[in-house]
């Protein structure tokens, strides 16, 4: 199918719509699979390696299909418009949206902190190789440490500061934990990006007697853009994840993490309800990553020569 | 100095010309054209090309960028298909010739698979066609000796220099004992000294194996040194503008590079490329 | 196209190629510093930590001294090991199944455009959403006494990087190699076996390395969102809540060890596989 005469821009747009179409088809396929399995699957799920007479033995590899365990897709949607906890409370989607916004805000702050710390680390590691050798392994290891561990500690430190005269609201602890997950991709991306220019470009700058700072501003930073943009996107997704998990471990009210746990606890009586905050979390991740992707639009010129 | 500018001259030596029955022709191209369809329109890469290469003949294709010489080579190798015209390799269509492994090909990049040893790279075509292990090992030993790399059979490509990698590529091209060798600027990425050394080796190998060779290059001395005939091409659209008989004999050695006959032929090719006579230094 | 974010990120092992990066004229550091520097930094961290807790005494109660943690870890090893086994098993199952599924789907996506079109946005979306958020739902679907929810989350966490990397690897064959095989009249299957697979192998190993830590973290964090009362994560949460800080941190150490083992093993595999990569 040769688009003779179409401008490259128009073709790019068309390709974008086609990709979105395929994506929508994919989502639809998932929904259809869900309902199909509900229709044909056994009510108690598929269990393998079960031992006769021993209740609860074996491994369930396909879930139970009755409505309490797997609500219908339309039930999930309908539940979104029903009141949150009965009576006069606002519809579920309103509560979810509110909680999601709270979490989004905290995640955004966590992202900002993480980006600043990560960028600073990347700059410093590129400048002095000794620091790269000394710090980089620990930065990598830091992501293996379950951040769950730090949540109570950060919270406790925060309380200490709060009581000692400063202000440290609880959400700030969540933001700090979110930043812990967000700084890593930015640090690595910045380091890689700053180290990416060709030998000949570096020689050129040296021939102009350009010192560290002019080289940084005019060569290394622009060269780092294609590495930083995906890193910032990943950092945004990580910040959301960190915020949600931190909310749960600190027990912060108002965020979507706590709502997830709360409604999950009531799942036996209200099976479709936990899907509300679940969809909310999914939307949250997509919005966070999408907003950061917008940053990339303005930097299009720096991305010329980027491999597909 | 004999310059043959007539396009109707086929064959080289009378003996070869006499033996040039259609099926003994290594390559026969008639009216071959190739048009590439791109996003911005059609690009005619080759237009109405007629070429005959006799068995055992060494033919160089030379011309500026965009003249279609590499495209023509790829058509012969059935790596691309011609838009119009007929192309026969040893009397068969290009596709069947490829399936029958009637030719070996070497590219400008050596294209060795980095995870295989030199020996395994040389035997790749044999492996693909089910040759037994013992036979492969024997053939690899032969090939390595032919290109002078016997001590390197168990090394890996990253342990070899560019020139050595290219020799492995040539050995690989010869693995199945083809009667036609296709070469697309194989020495283009090498330094001049290595280039000259490999050129001498290539003429020796071509003579020993009695294979026909179609050699793409944009170096005039290289074309003259190696070949029986030089086919001059020009771009926009790609076509053959001249065929020049070299006639420097079967045996080519280093001394040839300094001989007056060599320089004459180089001038002839250069004039054909420029399309007009060239003034030599010292002449008025 | 599939989002390269997860793959662009911890791409090959974080040994940044310095060749063009160091300022011309910067003197080369001795090689042994490469090992000594991180050890020194580690020692400094531990020292500062201990100083803050034991000498200054101003650290919060939730942060015990590093030596106290080590002591507790050794003392409680039997129970910690039990929970470590649970979490490690969940992570391993997730890693293995996630990788196998990823290889399968990447192979399908590389072969069929429509499938790639559908999978690419789905995988991109999966890469940015907090997967652990679906753990409560999974626990409802599979029952609260099943480890399946955690294993499923670990599977998804492992699937994404392996899928992205394998798909990229399957598309990385160089044109000259493809020409060589076509000129040798190799069949489609032969080309796949002799060129596409070896080319994709290093990418698979990179994907596994990234997936290993993600699977461990996912298995651990998923424990926070419900399910059976075993595993490192629930232990950390329980002991942290009841104020037994040293024991909670001893469990954290257990979690770190699992993650480190997974990471080191897959890193080693990756290094072995990329020795002769085509790039």
Average of per-residue pLDDT values in chain A: 83
Residues A60, A114: one domain? no
Is the Cβ pair C185, B107 closer than 8 Å? no
pLDDT, residue C1, reads 30
pLDDT score recorded for residue C148: 85
Query: Is C183 close to B124, i.e. CB distance below 8 A?
Result: no
Q: Are C141 and A63 in contact (CB under 8 A)?
A: yes
Q: Residues near B192 by Cβ (< 8 Å), separated by ≥ 6?
A: none
Give residue B280's pLDDT: 66
User: If you average pLDDT over residues B11-25, what whole number do you get?
Assistant: 55
The interface pTM score, or ipTM, of the predicted complex is 0.80
Pairwise pLDDT comparison (C4 vs C29), residue with the higher score: C29
Please, what is the Cα angle at C156 between C152 and C160, to 5 degrees? Answer: 170
Q: pLDDT grade, residue A8 (50/70/90)?
A: low
* C95: closest CA of chain B, how far (Å): 27
> Token pair for residue A289?
């990553």
Beta bridge partners of A158: none
Q: Is C182 on the interface with B (CB under 8 A)?
A: yes
Position A210 scores a pLDDT of 79
Angstrom distances, CA of residue A26 to CA of A283, A285, A287, B27? 17, 18, 19, 51
Q: Are A259 and A229 in contact (CB under 8 A)?
A: no
Cβ–Cβ < 8 Å for B219, B207: no
Question: Which of A187-191, A242-246, B93-97 has the largest mean confidence?
Answer: A187-191
CATH architecture observed for domain B14-102+178-274: 3-Layer(aba) Sandwich (3.40)
* Residue B152, phi then psi, degrees to nearest 5: -115, 10
Query: Are A60 and A126 in a shared domain?
Result: no
Q: Is residue A2 part of a domain?
A: no
Which of chain B's residues have a Cβ under 8 Å away from the Cβ of C194?
113, 124, 127-128
- How many C-beta atoms lie closer than 10 Å to residue A164's C-beta? 8
- The reply to whether A136 and A257 lie within a common domain is yes
- pLDDT mean over C59-71: 84
User: Residue A129 falls within a domain, yes or no?
Assistant: yes
pLDDT of residue A308: 38
The rounded distance, in Å, linking the Cα atoms of A250 and A256 is 13
Kind of pairing between the strands at B229-234 and B58-62: parallel
- Please name the helix (run of DSSP H) or strand (run of DSSP E) that holds residue B182, with its range, or none: strand B180-184
In a domain, A100, yes or no: yes
Are A60 and A130 found together in one domain?
no
Contacts A11 to B, Cβ<8 Å: 39
Asked if the model's pLDDT at residue A68 lies above 60, the reply is: yes
* Residues of C whose CB is below 8 A from A263: 136
Sort out which chain A residues have CB atoms less than 8 A from B43's CB and list them.
Answer: none
**Residue C110 C-alpha, separation from nearest chain B C-alpha, in angstroms:** 22
**Is B231's pLDDT higher than 70?**
yes
Q: Report the C-alpha gap between A29 and A280 in whole angstroms.
A: 21
Query: Does C8 score more than 60 pLDDT?
Result: no
Domain boundaries, chain B: 14-102+178-274, 113-177
Could you tell me which chains touch chain A, where touching means 3 or more CB pairs under 8 A? Answer: B, C
Q: Tell me, what's the pLDDT at B211?
A: 92
Question: Up-side HSE of residue B31: CA atoms within 13 Å toward CB?
Answer: 3
Tell me how close the Cα of B122 comes to any Cα of chain A, in angstroms. Answer: 33
Residues of A in contact with C42 (CB under 8 A): 138
Cis upstream peptide for A156 (omega within 30°): no
State the burial class of residue C186 (Cβ atoms within 10 Å of its Cβ: 0-12, 13-18, 19+): buried
Interface test with A, best of B35, B36, B38, B39 (most A CBs within 10 A): B39
pLDDT grade for C18, boundaries at 50, 70 and 90: very low
Taking residues B256-271, what's their average pLDDT? 92
Kind of pairing, strands B41-54 and B58-62? Answer: unpaired
Would the pLDDT of C185 be above 60? yes
Instruction: For strands B92-93 and B41-54, give the pairing.
Output: unpaired
- Split into its structural domains, chain A has a count of 2
- What tens digit of pLDDT does each residue of A79-136 get? 888 887 777 788 888 889 999 999 999 999 999 999 999 999 999 999 999 999 999 9
* Residue in C182, C190, C278 nearest the CB of B114: C278
**pTM (2 decimals)?**
0.79
Nearest C-alpha in C relative to A130: C37
* Token pair for B154: 């168990």
Q: Who contacts A154 (Cβ-Cβ below 8 Å, separation ≥6)?
A: A173, A176, A177
Q: How confident is the model at residue C27, as a pLDDT? A: 60
> A75 lies in a domain?
no
- Give the pLDDT of residue B73: 93
Examine the domain organization and report whether A32 and A148 are in the same domain.
no
* B138-173 residue pLDDT tens: 999 999 998 889 999 999 998 999 899 999 999 999
Tell me the average pLDDT across A298-306. Answer: 68
Amino acid B3: pLDDT? 43
pLDDT score, position B284:
54
- Residues near A79 by Cβ (< 8 Å), separated by ≥ 6? A71, A92, A270, A272, A273, A275, A276
Q: Which residue has the higher pLDDT, C245 or C18?
A: C245
Alpha carbon A194 to its chain centroid, in Å, reads 25
CATH number at residue A107: 1.10.3720.10
Q: C60 and A156 in contact (C-beta within 8 Å)? A: yes
Residue A180 lies in a domain: yes
How crowded is residue B15: how many other Cβ atoms within 10 Å of its Cβ?
10
Which pLDDT belongs to residue B23? 59
DSSP labels for C112-130?
-HHHHHHHHHHHHHHHHS-
A297 in a structural domain? yes
> Mean pLDDT score of chain C, rounded to an integer?
83
Residues A48 and A109 both lie in one domain: no
Where helices occur in chain C by DSSP H, the ranges are: 5-8, 33-50, 66-75, 77-111, 113-128, 135-142, 148-170, 175-183, 188-191, 197-222, 232-241, 245-273
Q: Which residues make beta-bridge pairs with B212?
A: B180
Q: Which pLDDT does position C54 carry in this prediction?
A: 83
* Chain A residue with Cα closest to B37: A2
3-state secondary structure of B268: helix
Segment (H or E) for B217: strand B212-217
Q: Name residues whose C-beta falls within 8 Å of residue B68's C-beta, 6 or more positions apart in sequence.
A: B34, B45, B46, B49, B233, B235, B237, B238, B239
Torsion of CA B251, B256, B260, B266, to 10 degrees: 90
Q: Is residue A87 part of a domain?
A: no
- Residue A42 inside a domain? The answer is yes
Q: CA separation (Å) from A112 to A117, A146, A179, A203, B143?
A: 9, 21, 8, 34, 63
Question: Which chains does chain B touch, 3 or more C-beta pairs < 8 A?
Answer: A, C
Same domain, A116 and A264: yes
Taking the Cβ of residue B41 and every Cβ of chain A, the question of whether any pair is shorter than 8 Å is answered with yes
- Over residues A4-31, mean pLDDT: 74
Segment B208-214 shows an average pLDDT of 92
| Domain around A130 | 92-303
Chains in contact with C, where contact means 3 or more Cβ–Cβ distances below 8 Å, are A, B
Mean pLDDT within A272-282: 87
Give contacts of A274 with chain C, Cβ < 8 Å.
Answer: 136-137, 140
Considering only CB atoms, B37 lies closest to which of A2, A8, A11, namely A2
């Amino acid at each position: 199918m040769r688009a003779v005469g179409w401008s490259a821009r128009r073709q790019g747009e068309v390709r974008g719509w086609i990709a979105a179409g395929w994506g929508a088809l994919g989502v639809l396929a998932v929904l259809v699979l869900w309902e199909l399995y509900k229709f044909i699957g056994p009510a108690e799920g598929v269990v393998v390696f079960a031992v006769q007479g021993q209740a609860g033995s074996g491994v369930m590899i396909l879930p139970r299909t009755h409505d309490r365990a797997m609500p219908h897709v339309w039930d999930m949607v309908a539940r979104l418009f029903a009141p949150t906890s009965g009576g006069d409370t606002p519809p579920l989607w309103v509560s979810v949206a509110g909680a999601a916004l709270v979490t989004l805000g905290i995640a955004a702050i966590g992202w900002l902190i993480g980006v600043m710390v990560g960028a600073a680390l990347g700059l410093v590691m590129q400048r002095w190789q000794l620091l790269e050798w000394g710090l980089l392994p620990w930065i990598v290891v830091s992501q293996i440490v379950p951040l769950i561990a730090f949540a109570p500690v950060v919270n406790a430190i925060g309380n200490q500061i709060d009581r000692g005269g400063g202000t440290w609201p609880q959400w700030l602890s969540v933001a700090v934990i979110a930043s812990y997950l967000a700084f890593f991709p930015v640090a690595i991306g910045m380091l890689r990006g700053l180290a990416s220019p060709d030998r000949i470009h570096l020689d050129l700058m040296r021939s102009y007697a350009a010192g560290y700072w002019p080289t940084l501003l005019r060569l290394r930073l622009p060269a780092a853009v294609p590495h930083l943009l995906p890193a910032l996107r990943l950092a945004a997704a990580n910040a959301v994840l960190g915020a949600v998990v931190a909310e749960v471990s600190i027990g912060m009210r108002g965020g979507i993490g706590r709502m997830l746990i709360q409604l999950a606890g009531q799942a036996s009586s209200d099976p479709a309800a936990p899907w509300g905050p679940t969809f909310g979390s999914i939307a949250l991740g997509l919005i966070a990553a999408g907003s950061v992707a917008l940053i990339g639009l303005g930097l299009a010129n720096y991305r010329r020569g980027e491999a597909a | 100095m004999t310059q043959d500018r007539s396009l109707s001259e086929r064959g080289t030596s009378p003996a070869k010309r006499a033996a040039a029955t259609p099926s003994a022709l290594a390559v026969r191209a008639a009216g071959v054209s190739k048009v590439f369809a791109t996003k911005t329109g059609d690009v005619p890469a080759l237009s109405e090309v007629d070429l005959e290469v006799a068995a055992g003949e060494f033919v160089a294709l030379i011309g500026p960028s965009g003249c279609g010489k590499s495209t023509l080579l790829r058509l012969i190798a059935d790596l691309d298909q011609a838009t119009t015209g007929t192309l026969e390799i040893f009397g068969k269509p290009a596709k069947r010739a490829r399936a029958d492994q009637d030719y070996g090909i070497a590219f400008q990049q050596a294209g060795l698979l980095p995870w295989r040893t030199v020996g395994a790279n040389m035997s790749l075509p044999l492996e693909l066609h089910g040759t037994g292990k013992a036979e492969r090992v024997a053939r690899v030993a032969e090939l390595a000796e032919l290109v002078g790399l016997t001590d390197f059979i168990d090394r890996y490509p990253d342990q070899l220099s560019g020139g050595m990698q290219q020799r492995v590529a040539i050995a690989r091209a010869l693995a199945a004992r083809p009667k036609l060798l296709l070469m697309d600027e194989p020495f283009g990425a090498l330094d001049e000294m290595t280039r000259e050394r490999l050129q001498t080796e290539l003429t020796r190998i071509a003579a020993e194996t009695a294979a026909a060779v179609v050699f793409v290059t944009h170096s005039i001395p290289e074309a003259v040194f190696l070949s029986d005939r030089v086919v001059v091409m020009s771009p926009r659209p790609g076509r053959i503008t001249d065929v020049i008989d070299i006639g420097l004999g079967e045996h080519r050695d280093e001394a040839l590079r300094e001989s007056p006959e060599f320089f004459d032929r180089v001038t002839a090719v250069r004039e054909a490329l420029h399309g007009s006579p060239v003034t030599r230094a010292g002449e008025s | 196209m599939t989002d390269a974010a997860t793959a662009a990120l911890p791409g090959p092992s974080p040994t940044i190629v310095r060749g063009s990066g160091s300022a011309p004229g910067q003197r080369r550091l001795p090689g042994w510093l490469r090992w000594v520097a991180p050890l020194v930094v580690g020692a400094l961290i531990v020292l500062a930590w201990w100083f803050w807790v034991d000498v200054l005494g101003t650290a919060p109660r939730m942060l015990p001294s590093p030596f106290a943690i080590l002591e507790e870890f050794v003392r409680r090893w039997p129970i910690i090991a039990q929970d470590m086994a649970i979490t490690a098993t969940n992570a391993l199952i997730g890693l293995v199944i996630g990788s196998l599924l990823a290889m399968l789907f990447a192979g399908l996506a590389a072969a069929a455009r429509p499938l790639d079109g559908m999978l690419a946005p789905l995988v991109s979306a999966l890469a940015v959403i907090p997967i652990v958020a679906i753990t409560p739902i999974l626990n409802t679907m599979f029952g609260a006494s099943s480890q399946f929810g955690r294993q499923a989350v670990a599977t998804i966490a492992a699937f994404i990087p392996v899928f992205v990397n394998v798909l990229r690897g399957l598309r990385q064959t160089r044109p000259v190699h493809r020409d060589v095989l076509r000129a040798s009249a190799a069949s489609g299957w032969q080309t796949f076996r002799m060129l596409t697979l070896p080319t994709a192998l290093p990418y698979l190993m990179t994907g596994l390395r990234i997936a290993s830590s993600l699977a461990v973290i996912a298995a651990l964090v998923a424990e926070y969102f419900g399910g059976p009362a075993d595993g490192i994560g629930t232990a950390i949460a329980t002991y942290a809540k009841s104020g037994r800080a040293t024991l909670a941190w001893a469990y954290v150490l257990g979690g770190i060890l699992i993650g480190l083992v997974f990471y080191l093993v897959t890193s080693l595999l990756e290094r072995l596989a990329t020795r002769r990569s085509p790039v």
